[in-house]
Homo-oligomer: A and B are copies of this chain.
Amino acid sequence: MPDSGSLSVKTVSRLAGLSAHTLRAWERRYGAVTPRRTETGHRLYSQSDVERLKLLVKLVEQGNSIGRIARLQDEELAQLCRSMAPERGSQSPLLQELERQEQKTDATAGETHERIGRILEELLDAIPGFELDRVADALTRARQTLSPRDFALEIIAPVLGEVGLRVSHGRMGISQEHLLSSRIRSALEAALEQLDRGLRSQPWAVALATAQGDLHEFGSLIGAVLCASHGLRPLFLGPNLPAPDFAEAVRSTRARVALLGTTPLPPGAMPLSYEEYLTRLDSQLPRDCALWLGGRGDIKLGALKLQHEVRAIATLELLDHALKGIS
């Protein structure tokens, strides 16, 4: 029985460093610890009770309120204790930021998943009632807690998928969709800008766009975030870009990859079919620039004779992997 010691109130009070009165009050009011009892009602504290109490005392001394932390699990207490530790005085903001990023990554995998689930739920829950505050909060929180890559892949992509479904089933209005899209786009752009600031002076690596008439920009935008996450400086040219302009941009910036986002579109939505668009793009693109197709656009590559080798990358996960390969 290593952990079932039988320490009395007085002993524990001395060991943990608080009065017996307080000790009992903490138990009565906040359930800070729940020692075993003798048949006659006397408390029997264990060694781990003492440890827990010591931790609580320490945290309270650091300014936490006992009523708020008393019911936390041991693990949560330990974590809180760790996160309270860095109380170094005047650090440069840069260092602070780095530290914060470290803190982010040190969340364990399991927790991350749970958190992602919560954020997803929160987002999808807040949309129907125009609760933009909650949406904004959830997005901000997600962007602060997760890496840009995870933010894009684990939060934004699923949300967009679900939104698409709901809209097509009539379970979500177009105005709600627009509102959410707008917020999501601005969050993605902020993430992209943030990453991009770290890639200045780097050469442009991947140019992204969608074809003329294709207004679905999110695929490319997430693609750009992924590129930047892998250290490949993206040139996000937005949706609806004519082939000559795409080629010209690639030429001017000497990007190594041209990534065209594609979507299954009804015929006639685009002034040129994907096949026609690709033919033109192919002929005007520099020789040493790779041509990638992202997304699930309906394209018959077989019939085309293109100079560039074309690589089709259907999903964002595959793109993530492909980028890992060339970075």
Asked if A164 is at the interface of the complex by the 8 Å CB criterion, the answer is no
| Residue in B5, B144, B204, B215 whose CB lies within 8 Å of A80 | B5
Query: Which listed residue (B12, B76, B81, B182) contacts A93, Cβ 8 A?
Result: B81
Query: How big is chain A's contact interface, by range?
Result: 35 or more
| Alpha-carbon distance A176/B209, docked complex (angstroms) | 12
* Identity of the chain B residue whose Cβ is nearest the Cβ of A77 in the assembled complex: B93
List the B side residues contacting A178 at CB < 8 Å. 209, 237-238, 240-241
How many of these chains are in the complex? 2
The answer, yes or no, to whether A288 is at the interface (CB within 8 Å) is no
A248 CB–B CB distance under 8 Å: yes
Q: Contacts A93-B58, A100-B51, A193-B186 given: A6-B69 contact, CB under 8 Å?
A: yes
Q: Which residues of chain B are near A87, meaning CB under 8 Å?
A: 15
Is there an interface contact between B85 and A68, defined as CB atoms closer than 8 Å?
Answer: no
What is the interface of chain A, defined by CB distance below 8 A to chain B? 1-3, 5-8, 10-12, 14-15, 38, 42, 44, 47-48, 51, 54-55, 58, 62-65, 68-69, 73-76, 78-85, 87, 92-94, 96-97, 100, 107, 111, 115, 129-130, 132-133, 136, 140, 144-145, 173-176, 178-179, 181-182, 185-186, 189-190, 193-194, 196-197, 200, 204, 209, 215, 235-238, 240-242, 245-246, 248-249, 252-253
